[in-house]
Chain A
Amino acid sequence: MNKIESFPDKLLRGISDPKVIGEYGIVTAQLFQFSNDTRNDLFLEESINWEDDDGSLECLKNQKKKDSDQLQFKEGIAVLERNKIDELLRRFNIMTKLLSYERKAIEDNKYHGNLLMLKTLEKNVKVQLRASIANCVEKVIKSE
């Protein structure tokens, strides 16, 4: 099974910081910071949930901060369209794979995965990628 066939149409990104949401629910590229933790494959991670079923959204809505009863994503959940991300992959991954995604289930979250961006990119390319990913956000589901 290839990568495109094994992923659902939508992916979700939790929002903790109100400053990344602008007017009309338009998110900024700041929502996609990418962790500086180094992986063996030199990619940086940005946590997402794959929307395999309704449980994925519920999982994010109910996720608590570490060692706290406070909700992790109290500002809302951004919904991205995977076909838009695939279009970015086609645009940017010409000579080298700069951007990718994966499933990476973790404890208590079987839907978890990552957007992946090559760590060694110049800052201007990283900003272009992050801004382009932000354009893939279809809507923001505000917390109740």
Chain B
Amino acid sequence: MNDTYCDTITPTSIGTNNLSGNSFKEIYEGIAHLPSASELPYIDAPPLISNVFKEINFSNVTLIDKSIQKQLLIFISLLSDVLNSRKDDIINNTKHIPAIKLSTEDEGSIMLEWAFYKFRFCFLFEINADKSFWYYTNDNNDVNDSKSGPIDTEKVNELNILISNLVDTALSAI
């Protein structure tokens, strides 16, 4: 990921959202510090949405690689943005959306797991970003539906579409 790319990741380039641009940009460029929950971009979201991110606390995991920090922040920002864009639908049709769990995996990778009743998403962020991937599995109605694919945080538009599709999948399966 190069400096030019860094400059393209701004709130306005991602879309209509609630990103708190300054802290995001500082963190993204690795010049400041690890973020606390209050600095992440979903902080202004409605409670139903901010609940999704309430357990993501970067201070209690060992983030040994800045590539993973960047991947995580881009991903979380886009997910926050997509959820905000669906907030009317969420508020009208959803009582609760579970919180995402963040955990440290072996070899320094980080997993975000978004676990619902009978279905879940796993997002694994690797130091080698080419190996980062997502997995969805749904065992509702005794018929398994599974999908998986790469997470490429360098292709923001494509990632945004992917996250939009995954969020729609989640909202329709709740």
Q: Please report A residues at the B interface, Cβ cutoff 8 Å.
A: 19, 22-24, 26-30, 84, 87, 91, 123-124, 127-128, 131-132, 134-136
Q: Which 4 A-B pairs have the closest CB atoms?
A: A135-B139, A28-B113, A26-B115, A23-B98
Summed over the interface, the residue pairs from A and B with CB atoms below 8 Å come to a total of 74
The interface size of chain B toward A, counting residues with CB under 8 Å, comes to 29
Within 8 Å by CB of B98, from A19, A24, A131, lies A24
| Contact flag A124-B148 (CB < 8 Å), given A22-B99, A22-B101, A131-B137 | yes
Contact of A135 with B135 at beta-carbon distance under 8 Å, contacts A26-B98, A124-B148, A127-B124 already known:
no
Interchain residue pairs with CB less than 8 A apart (30): A19-B101, A22-B99, A22-B101, A23-B96, A23-B98, A23-B99, A28-B113, A28-B115, A29-B111, A29-B115, A29-B120, A30-B111, A87-B144, A123-B105, A123-B106, A123-B107, A124-B135, A127-B124, A127-B133, A127-B135, A128-B122, A128-B135, A128-B137, A131-B135, A131-B137, A132-B137, A134-B115, A135-B118, A135-B137, A136-B139
Q: Does B119 contact A (CB under 8 A)?
A: yes
CB distance from B51 to the nearest CB of A (A): 9
A135 touches B96 (CB 8 A): no
Task: Tell me if B103 is interfacial: C-beta within 8 Å of chain A.
Answer: yes
Interface residue B165 (Cβ < 8 Å from any Cβ of A): no
Q: Is the CB of B124 within 8 A of A124?
A: yes
* B131 close to chain A: CB less than 8 A: yes
Q: Which of A84, A127, A135 contacts B111 (CB 8 A)?
A: A127
Whether A22 touches B137, Cβ cut-off 8 Å, given contacts A29-B122, A124-B131, A128-B146, is no
- The verdict on A123 contacting B139 (CB below 8 Å), with A28-B103, A128-B146 known, is no
Counting chain A CB atoms within 10 Å of each CB, the highest count among B106, B111, B131 belongs to B111
* CB neighbours of A124 from chain B (8 A): 124, 131, 133, 135, 148
